[in-house]
Structure 1
Amino acid sequence: MKVVLAAIHPSPSPQSVPLANAFLKAYLATDEELASRVEVELCDFYVADPAEACAAEILSHDPDAVGFSLYLWNLDASARLADALRRERPGLVIFAGGPQATADPPGTLAGGGYDFLILGEGEVPFLEMAARLCAGESPRGGAGTAWLEGDQLESRSQRPVAIIDTVPSPFLSGAIDPARHGGLLWQLSRGCDFACEYCFDYKGTKGVRRFSLERIDAELDFLVRGNVPQVFVLDSTFNIDPKRAKTILRMIRKRAPHIHFHFEVRSEFVDREMARLFAGITCSLQIGLQSADPVVLKGIRRHFDPDDFCKRVSMLNESGAVFGFDLIYGLPGDSLAGFRRSIDFAIALYPNHLDIFPLAVLPGTPLAGRAGKAGLAHLAGPPYTVTATPSFPARDMARAARIASACDIFYSRGRAVAWFNGVVAPLALTPSEFLDAFGEWLEREGGAPREEALSDEAIWSLQRAFLRHAFTGKRARLLPAALDLVDYHYHYAAALLAPAPELPTDRSLASMNMLDQRLHLSPSARLARFSYEIADLLEAGDVDLREICACFSPCKSWAVIYPRGGEVFTESLMESYFLLLEGLDGKNRAGDVASRLGLSGEEAAEFLEFAAAEGVVTIKP
């Protein structure tokens, strides 16, 4: 018998990994007799893929049953694919599981064309389903399944795995090949100890069950051996057990400092030691702030102490850890003014980025159960987003959406954290007012573009253009310093993300006449012109435009910004050296370029040897 497990991902990305299906495949292997009779095939698709093409690929495996992992983003795509399969193979067993199936069995069965659903953890029900099918029995009625008898929902109690470590690792069992993906999803525990009303992470098994540190240690070795570049840790709250979290962070620091990890954490469990451990590895943290109003958060079963939050986040800032916040607009009791205050509160804490979303009233959540009473108007189908509330009318929701988009473009994608507060302050605007003005300006300039459609360079150009628009009148004298800061951090970020070139050896440099070489600027190096001496701006510390302009006089400067040894260096240059680097095209001799600039051969050769040793220039083969 053959079972195809289909995963439909939002789009190609390092997170497009069929982890849930891989867990099911790995668990089936624990029953040797059943595993000898059942073959499990994993198929991956994307939301935009045509249903007919996906169906053809699945049917090419000649399956007896097909299962879908259902999430908010793929409900419609999965239903279309199930319908296409049903048309081609009417007798095919089609089932589904995952968070959406567990949260809303009636709605999923009514609209998806599935024979039955698996509720909660899927391993035990999937094993029983496979055994029933092999025996020629109906898969309905097994533990953790739900189905329709006419219009009546029938279900059996969920049956989670009794001892979580008995679920084989999808990595160590070979169910997932790391070479196929640009990253991996990593599950260190299951469950959630919190019960936020808008979320169903806590549904199913109560509390958190954790995989053993021995297993995590072995999986970490797998990630290192597989040269996995980045890992997304799926735990709802990675640091809820601070001692365990610190142990895992030390394991990562020792053996996988080169892998980029993404964690979801809560601020109240951060202390100075944990902040230093996060800063000691390559990682980014996502903190669910959601709102800065304690009353609004209390209404959805979340506790929030603003002073404690600020104290904990300051520890992350002091350590140098990279973190961002989630914000939700449209929460019950919130308003546009309250949302603006939440943005202002968040940006004052210097997050690396903000992820801002409208509230989604997800079926099966406590919030969905009281949405009508609370006056929450929302979409009836995915993504179930709120369109209006008594305190957040539709026009204000649209305004909040514009501010969120402006923040995505200007602040988050624009990598503005280092300079945003200092540049905005002289304009006498709050961060939310500034972002609102930027969004309005984008609309006037030809329509607000989608953030994902913009290149980093295009966003940089928009930042510069809007600052020119904003710094007028008496504030115009501050504009050159503001643009210098924007330009420097744009080039710094580009250099940080660029792969550093291979450096020549001292011996090869010593045997080389640099003036005879056809050199060119390394792709990773960035040349930049500034209105102020860039070294002065960098040494000034915290950005204060008024103080910068009071302390320093405009003085043109030139610099090369480049990566080396995992760091980014900024070298202030004489204009002649800058022009020399700018003129290297890989076609003409470096000596000829230097001669046209009036540089002596000895001076040019010495500088170019330094530039080659640093990886600023490379030799055209």
Structure 2
Amino acid sequence: MKILLTAINSKFVHSNLAVKYLKEFTADLPYEGKIREFSINYRVENVLKEIIEEKPDVVAFSTYIWNVEMVTRLANLISMLDPKIELLYGGPEVSFDSRVFLKDNVGHYIIEGEGEKTFREFVEFKLGNKNIDSIKGLHYRHGDNIYSNSSRPLMDMDDLVFPYREEDDLNNKIVYFEGSRGCPFNCKYCLSSTTHGVRFHSVERSLKELQFFIDKEVTLVKFVDRTFNCNHKYSMAIWDFLINSDTKTQFHFEISADILKEEEIELLKKAPEGRFQFEVGVQTTNDQVLKNINRFVNFSDIKEKVVELLSIRNIKQHLDLIAGLPGEDYISFVRSFNDVHSIRPEEIQLGFLKLLKGSSMREESGKYGMKYSPYPPYEILSTDTLSYEELIKLKKVEEVVDKYYNSHKFNNILNYFYSKFETPFIFFSELGDFFEMKGYFNRNIGNSEYYKVFLDFNMEVLKADNRVLKDVIKYDYLSFNKKRGIPSYIKGEINDDIHKKIKDKYRSEYSFKEYSVENFSIDMDKYCNKNVIINTESYYLVGNNGEMIRIFF
């Protein structure tokens, strides 16, 4: 018997932890379990072809909001081509209305909730060693009827089997690791609020498994724990181990900044630069809105800890905001954005509320006049305090913030414009409107065009001169792009005599096959470090890797 464990990931670099758990949890049983991972960017016809060529007896789909539409299309096509292939679904998208989903779609089985033990018993059933009606957590179709067995209790974390093997190719992949399940908080929009309590692996087991990733020289390990630092003893042990490990692997954690203890911050100060990345769910800086979603914390507490971490400059921080939360209007969200921007984290992620199946936020949607799409990912369309038109404005801001702020390739350019607008939000909002007016959201634009946008924006919106801005753009462009392709709109000319003097002076230190000379009409050091414009020529050696070296002659 062959079961094809099928994952449709949102990006090629992602991997699916769930199917790996299922395969390893049943590795000792006498059946063929095979994992196939695809991306939602693949053509359905190509995925179908590869599934059919596997000749499976059962196709098991790992189902989420981002892939459920593709999964159901594939299921229909598989059923049409070969009705003998049975279809099994699992995952959060089918765990809260399992009977309805099975009634409305082709397929035979649904695993509800945590799947490892249920899947193992399902395999035993297919091998003839188990009665189907005894499998807790399983819904199934028999003839025209759908049956639901009793729910399965939550697992002990140490019953899980480590889902990775030595022969796994983990190159160029984001590798996911789970140290705990559950969340201590009860945020109304999150599915973690539907279960109570947090379960952890033992520290000893976690350290052993993390060493596996270090030995394999994995690039990035992303902890999927909902609130990694909710257990002080556990987080201290993990962080201390990773800080003292000899590795270039990066580790990503979702944390709640307000509960960070001073002892933890003191430990984190010792982390090598770039070793850790933190994702902090701010969601809103409006304390009343935080209460509306069952987050009983003040933004001031979050800000204090985030700023303290930023001050040690060794941990990259990613701060999240969610638009469409109950009780938050446009003005409040704008204030939240400016509050978060004032901290100047490495990344600001603007998300939009999704009313997930099973979440209490969906159940309370009528209370706040929420209209949301009935189609995955169930995104908010409007509330009684935020209109659809205002959400569309925020979508434009989200796109330009992600492109320009989060990439860190335009920092000096952004600083140039911040002083020309009352708030950062107004700047990004105006830039988003400009993008829409020019049609840039509807077509792909080249790398150099992303820089040229600012010259056009400066002239057409601010009616300002581009002399200084051209230098600022050139500096940022050369810091991240090869000089060989520098656009004509920022390309400068250097006097031949000056060029010769510079080469004669620095030839013994630098190879001019690897470095070129660029000039600017202002003192770029003063501008970049102090945001001061001094009209005097400055010269730099520009390395092929974007290195900028100030020179004097």
AA in 1 matched with 2:21:
F
Q: Confirm or deny that 1:178 pairs with 2:159.
A: no
Residue pair 1:533, 1:557 contacting (<8 A) in 2 also: yes
Specify whether residues 457 and 86 from structure 1 end up closer, same or farther in structure 2 by C-alpha distance, changes over 3 A only. same
In 1, distance between residues paired with 2:131 and 2:274? 50
Using structure 2 for the length normalisation, give the TM-score: 0.86
1:233 corresponding residue in structure 2: 223
Specify the alignment match of 1:217 in structure 2. 207
| Alignment match, 1:411 | 405
Instruction: Give runs of aligned pairs for residues 197-276 of structure 1, distance below 5 A.
Output: 197-204=188-195, 206-270=196-260, 271=262, 272-276=265-269
CA distance in structure 2 between the partners assigned to 1:94 and 1:436 by the alignment: 47
- Conserved? CA contact 2:240–2:267, under 8 Å: no
> Which residue in the other structure is 2:21 paired with?
23
Note closer, same or farther for the CA distance 1:488–1:209 as it changes in structure 2 (3 Å cut). farther
Distance 1:246 1:456 in 2: 42
Are residue 105 (structure 1) and residue 102 (structure 2) matched? no
Take 2:100 and 2:350, find their aligned partners in 1: how far apart are those partners? 27
| Aligned position for 1:445 | 438
Distance in 2 separating the partners of 1:307 and 1:283: 23
Amino acid at match of 1:238: F
Identify if the C-alpha distance between structure 1 residues 58 and 296 changes in structure 2 by more than 3 Å, giving closer, same or farther: same
- The whole-number CA distance in structure 2 between the counterparts of 1:259 and 1:242 is 23
Kept in 1, the 8 Å contact 2:274–2:316? The answer is: no
Spell out, residue by residue over 1:545-583, the C-alpha distance to the aligned partner (whole angstroms, 9 max, x if none): 4xx13xxx311212135599xxx86421258xxxxxxxx
Equivalence for 1:314 = 307
Contact 2:217 2:247 in 1 (8 A): no
How do 1:139-538 and structure 2 match up within 5 A? Answer: 139=132, 141-147=134-140, 154-162=148-156, 164-171=157-164, 173-174=165-166, 176-179=168-171, 181-204=172-195, 206-270=196-260, 271=262, 272-277=265-270, 280-320=273-313, 321-416=315-410, 420=414, 422-449=415-442, 453=444, 457-469=448-460, 472=463, 484=471, 487-492=474-479, 521-522=513-514, 528-538=518-528
Aligned length: 524
1:76-127 Cα shifts (integer Å, max 9, x gaps)? 1111111122122212221111121223324432444231211121111011
| Aligned-CA RMSD value | 3.0
**Cα offsets for 1:356-406 (capped at 9, x unmatched):** 122111111111112133311111111111111111112112122122222
* 1:5 partner letter: L
Match of 1:69 among 59, 62, 68: 62
Taking the aligned partners of 1:418 and 1:201, their CA distance within structure 2 comes to 40
Map 1:536-551 onto structure 2 (within 5 A).
536-540=526-530, 545=531, 548-549=532-533
Aligned with 2:306: secondary structure? helix
| Shift of residue 250, structure 1, vs aligned partner | 2.5
Structure 1 equivalent of residue 41 of structure 2: 48
Q: Pick closer, same or farther for the CA change 1:79–1:460 going to 2, 3 Å.
A: same
Supply the distance in 1 between the matched residues of 2:119 and 2:31 (Cα, whole angstroms): 12
The question of 1:7 aligning with 2:3 is answered no
Q: Deviations over 1:433-454 (max 9, x none)?
A: 111111111222234357xx55
Where 1:348 maps in the other structure, the secondary structure is helix
- Identify if the C-alpha distance between structure 1 residues 342 and 521 changes in structure 2 by more than 3 Å, giving closer, same or farther: farther
What amino acid sits opposite 1:27 in the alignment? F
* Cα separation, partners in 2 of 1:223 and 1:481, compared to 1, 3 Å: farther
Match of 1:556 in 2: 537
Matched to 1:386, the amino acid is I
Deviation of the 1:189 alpha carbon: 1.5
Task: Find the aligned partners of 1:515 and 1:494 in 2 and give their Cα distance.
Answer: 23
Task: Give the Cα separation in 2 of the matches to 1:261 and 1:494.
Answer: 27
How far the C-alpha of 1:203 sits from its partner, in A, is: 3.1
Q: Distance in 2 between matches of 1:423 and 1:383?
A: 37
Superposed CA deviations along residues 225-259 of structure 1, whole A, max 9, x for unmatched, are 22211222211112222342232222222225411
Q: Hey, what's the Cα distance between the residues in 2 that align with 1:442 and 1:253?
A: 43
Q: Distance in 2 between matches of 1:539 and 1:400?
A: 31
Partner SS for 1:190:
strand
The answer to whether 1:571 aligns with 2:549 is yes
| CA deviation string 1:285-315 (max 9, x = no partner) | 2111111111112111112312212211111
Q: Secondary structure at the match of 2:36?
A: strand
The alpha carbon displacement at 1:186 in A equals 1.5
**Residue deviations 1:323-382, cap 9 Å, x none?**
121111111111111111111111001011111122111111111112133311111111
Structure possessing the higher radius of gyration over alpha carbons: 1
SS for the counterpart of 1:324 is: strand
Indicate the SS of the match to 1:239.
helix
Matching residue's letter, 2:182: G
Q: Distance in 2 between matches of 1:60 and 1:94?
A: 16
**Contact 2:122 2:132 survives alignment (8 Å):** yes
CA contact (8 A) 1:350 1:417 kept: no
Contact conserved, 1:377 with 1:388, CA < 8 A, in 2?
Answer: yes
Matched, 1:93 2:86: yes
Q: Which residue of 2 aligns with 1:506?
A: none
Unaligned runs of 5+ in 2: 483-505
8 Å Cα contact 2:15-2:176 kept in structure 1: yes
Against the structure 1 CA distance between its residues 535 and 432, is the aligned structure 2 distance closer, same or farther, given a 3 Å change threshold? closer
What is the rounded CA distance, in whole Å, between the counterparts of 1:243 and 1:17 in structure 2? 29
Q: CA offset at residue 167 of structure 1?
A: 1.5
* Aligned CA distance change for structure 1 residues 390 and 456 (closer, same or farther; 3 Å): same
Q: Which of 95-104 and 362-371 deviates more?
A: 95-104
CA–CA separation in structure 2 for the residues paired with 1:245 and 1:559: 45
SS at match of 1:5: strand
> For 2:66, what is the secondary structure of its paired residue?
helix
Stretch deviating more after TM superposition (394-403 or 458-467)? 458-467
Equivalence map 1:117-128=2 (5 Å): 117-128=110-121
Kindly indicate whether the alpha-carbon contact (under 8 Å) linking 2:282 and 2:299 is maintained by their aligned counterparts in 1: no
TM-score by length of 1: 0.77
Check the 8 A contact 1:103/1:203 in 2, yes or no.
no
Separation in structure 2 between the aligned mates of residue 51 and residue 428 of structure 1, nearest angstrom = 46
Q: Which amino acid aligns with 1:88?
A: L
The verdict on how the C-alpha distance between 1:413 and 1:335 changes in structure 2, with shifts beyond 3 A counting, is same
Q: Distance in 1 between matches of 2:100 and 2:328?
A: 29
Matches of 2:148 and 2:282, distance apart in 1:
38
C-alpha deviation, 1:74, in angstroms? 0.4
> CA separation in 1, counterparts of 2:167 and 2:369?
46
1:109–1:116 Cα contact (<8 Å) kept: yes
Q: CA separation in 2, counterparts of 1:369 and 1:441?
A: 38
